[in-house]
């Protein structure tokens, strides 16, 4: 964490840093509290979502666009991991209530767009946006930060506590990553017993204690802080560009022929 107050990071800002300015775009990171293989902390998704949001806000402010990073929601949807100790679940319906209340708090203050910056695969936020968008003038958008840049640099990006997430944590919070790599689980996972799920005809949420060996999905061993830094920088750049677009977008005309 930075040792000085970062502009646009709401929970680090004082009242004078926020008042008298208009903040057209707000970022709401969504994390989770759950095991991440044997080498990453429970708060991995919250830490990464918060950091990406802070960097996106900084990048936008440097370009002259006021983007504010809200505090992260530290709990995610973990309904199929409740048998893993101290995994904290919030229901999608609870997330809906949280986002509705955040929107209600932002509406009177000139916020034009709210970006749900997701860092946890179990948080499926589209249904929330579909339900809430008709009742607010604030444009709602979703970014899954780990999908915002090309994965080509990773040998096996992984799905949960794999190479991508581990690399990002080695870059952002190396003190929270288990130092002895020989203790890291290999992140092996197991397929569904149902052919229809294996072939993609149907989807069912994975029962984590059956689908994984060490709670991770994807081998983290090839992760490096350098690849984490490169990937995060690219993701931040692309998300920041989108936020700057949103700040200027015509809210009444978001789809039109391109000619």
Residues near Zn ion (CB under 5 A) are: 44-45
CB of 90 to Zn ion, least distance (A): 16
Q: Which is nearer to Zn ion, 140 or 161 (CB)?
A: 161
Q: Which is nearer to Zn ion, 50 or 65 (CB)?
A: 50
Torsion, CA 191, CA 46, CA 34, CA 153, rounded to 10:
30
Nearest to 215 by CA among 182, 185, 170: 185
CB of 17 to Zn ion, least distance (A): 31
Q: Which is nearer to Zn ion, 24 or 31 (CB)?
A: 31
Residues 6+ apart with CB under 8 A from 65: 24, 25, 243, 244, 247
Q: Which is nearer to Zn ion, 66 or 160 (CB)?
A: 160
Residues in the chain: 259
Q: Which residue is nearest to Zn ion (CB)?
A: 45
Tell me if residue 144 falls in helix, strand or coil: strand
CB of 76 to Zn ion, least distance (A): 9
Torsion, CA 201, CA 205, CA 208, CA 211, rounded to 10:
-10
CB of 159 to Zn ion, least distance (A): 9
* Helices and strands per DSSP (H, E), number in the chain: 8, 4
Q: Which is nearer to Zn ion, 211 or 249 (CB)?
A: 211
CB of 32 to Zn ion, least distance (A): 7
């Amino acid at each position: 964490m930075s040792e000085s107050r970062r502009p646009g990071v709401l929970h680090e800002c004082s009242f004078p840093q926020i008042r008298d300015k208009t903040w057209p775009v707000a970022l709401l990171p969504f994390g989770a509290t759950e095991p991440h293989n044997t080498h990453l902390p429970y708060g991995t998704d919250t830490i990464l979502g918060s950091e990406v949001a802070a960097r996106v806000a900084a990048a936008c402010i440097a370009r002259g666009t006021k983007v504010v990073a809200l505090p992260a929601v530290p709990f995610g949807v973990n309904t199929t991991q409740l048998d893993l100790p101290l995994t904290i679940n919030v229901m999608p319906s609870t997330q809906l209530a949280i986002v509705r209340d955040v929107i209600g708090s932002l509406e009177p203050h000139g916020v034009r767009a709210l970006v749900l910056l997701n860092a946890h695969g179990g948080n499926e936020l589209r249904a929330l946006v579909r339900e809430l968008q008709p009742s607010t003038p604030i444009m709602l958008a979703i970014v899954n930060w780990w999908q915002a840049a090309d994965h080509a640099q990773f040998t096996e990006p992984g799905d949960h506590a794999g190479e991508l997430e581990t690399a990002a944590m080695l870059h952002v919070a190396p003190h929270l990553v288990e130092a002895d790599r020989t203790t890291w689980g290999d992140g092996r996972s197991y397929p569904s017993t149902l052919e229809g799920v294996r072939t993609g005809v149907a989807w069912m949420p994975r029962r984590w204690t059956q689908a994984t060996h060490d709670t991770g999905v994807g081998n983290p061993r090839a992760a490096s802080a350098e690849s984490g830094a490169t990937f995060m920088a690219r993701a931040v750049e692309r998300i920041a560009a989108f936020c700057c677009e949103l700040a200027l977008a015509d809210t009444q005309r978001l789809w039109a022929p391109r000619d």
